[in-house]
Amino acid sequence: MFDESNVILDARHVTRRFPAPGGKELVACNDVSLKLYRGKTLGLVGESGCGKSTFMRFLVWLDTPTEGEIIYRGQDITKLKGKALHDMRQNIQMVFQDPSTSFNPKMKIRDIVCEPLLNYNRIKRSERDAKARELLQMVELPGDFADRFPHNMSGGQRQRVAIARALALEPEIIVMDEATSALDVSVQETIIELITKLQREKDITIGFICHNLGFIQSFSHQIAVMYLGNIVEVMPGDQLSAVCCHPYSKALLNAVFDTKMDFSKKIEPIKGEPPSPLNLPTGCPFQDRCEFCKPLCREKKPTLHEIGPGHQVACHRFGGGESA
């Protein structure tokens, strides 16, 4: 579906293991392989604790995978250290879920948005005022907001400031961790409109973490669904409703309101509870919550395989998913 020459970041067989009491291991990401394409948005969806934030943290060097590699500009960024790591950080930036906790409350907005530029000697201190106003206007905020403190702004305004700070260094990739989940629904739409506008203008690649599969399909070019550390389905964002087929993906879609406001659609909560990540069953991790579970599902773990253009699924129902 996408031109492979436009792959800007390639995560290959990434796994993250955490030691747990009793000599056990918690596998937060299990053999995850995903690609980010230039100028496109990858939406990563799943329930809390599925490993999506852990994966995205690898991209901004907030954590390191136990196994696997992440290739960006021909380099495995998981191995970078020192000056090479410092220089590379400016190319991949992050917008956190709650800007209230990622901002220093004692810093004015001008200092917050210009801090990355000062850290990389991109501007002089005397240029802060003009640059801060330019960045704020880019995210559709008045330039005089530069004199404010974070607590003098609304949640949506603070998130716009967070976006301005992330874009200050003109990165190629932006990671957004639940960047709209703490905002009112009406504000969420305006923030997404801003993000997509800036993406078109600056050709930015975006990795967007979200719980709501119905919401993320409205702006993602590609969607990956994650369950208990495993990618269970990857599909084109604009075809989600038509091609979505993994039982977990369909359950996520049925658990939210219809994006076209069709209130005849029933909301169906996902049945059952996920197993403990410290005691995963043999075979498919979704087996105990799946109405289509059969003996093969309890014996062999399905692997991700292609069933259509840009569409991969890890499910025995669609063939080819048996482990080698």
Q: What is the pLDDT of residues 76-95, one digit of tens each?
A: 999 999 999 999 999 999 99
Are 246 and 262 contacting, i.e. CB atoms less than 8 angstroms apart?
Answer: no
Residue 322: pLDDT band with limits 50, 70, 90:
very low
Given a cut of 80, whether residue 13 has pLDDT beyond it is yes
Distance in angstroms (rounded) separating the CA atoms of residues 258 and 91: 36
pLDDT tens-digit readout, 239-277: 888 899 999 999 888 876 554 545 555 666 677 788 888
Are 182 and 97 contacting, i.e. CB atoms less than 8 angstroms apart?
Answer: yes
Domain boundaries defined on the chain: 4-91+173-318, 99-170
In the three-class reduction of DSSP (H, G, I as helix; E, B as strand; rest coil), residue 213 is classed as helix
Distance in angstroms (rounded) separating the CA atoms of residues 154 and 166: 19
- Flag whether the pTM goes above 0.75: yes
Q: Are strands 222-227 and 173-177 parallel, antiparallel or unpaired?
A: unpaired
HSE-up of residue 46 (Cα within 13 Å, Cβ side) = 25
Q: DSSP secondary structure string, 15-81?
A: EEEEEEGGGEEEEEEEEEEEEEETT-EEEEE--TTSSHHHHHHHHTTSS--SEEEEEETTEEGGG--
- In angstroms, the Cα distances linking 280 to 30, 45, 275, 284 are 12, 20, 6, 9
Instruction: For residue 140, count CB atoms less than 10 angstroms from its CB and return exposed for 0-12, middle for 13-18, buried for 19 or more.
Output: middle
Instruction: For residue 219, count CB atoms less than 10 angstroms from its CB and return exposed for 0-12, middle for 13-18, buried for 19 or more.
Output: middle
- CA-nearest of 161, 164, 136, 134 to 150 is 161
Averaged pLDDT, 231-239: 93
**What would the CATH number be for the domain defined by 4-91+173-318?**
3.40.50.300
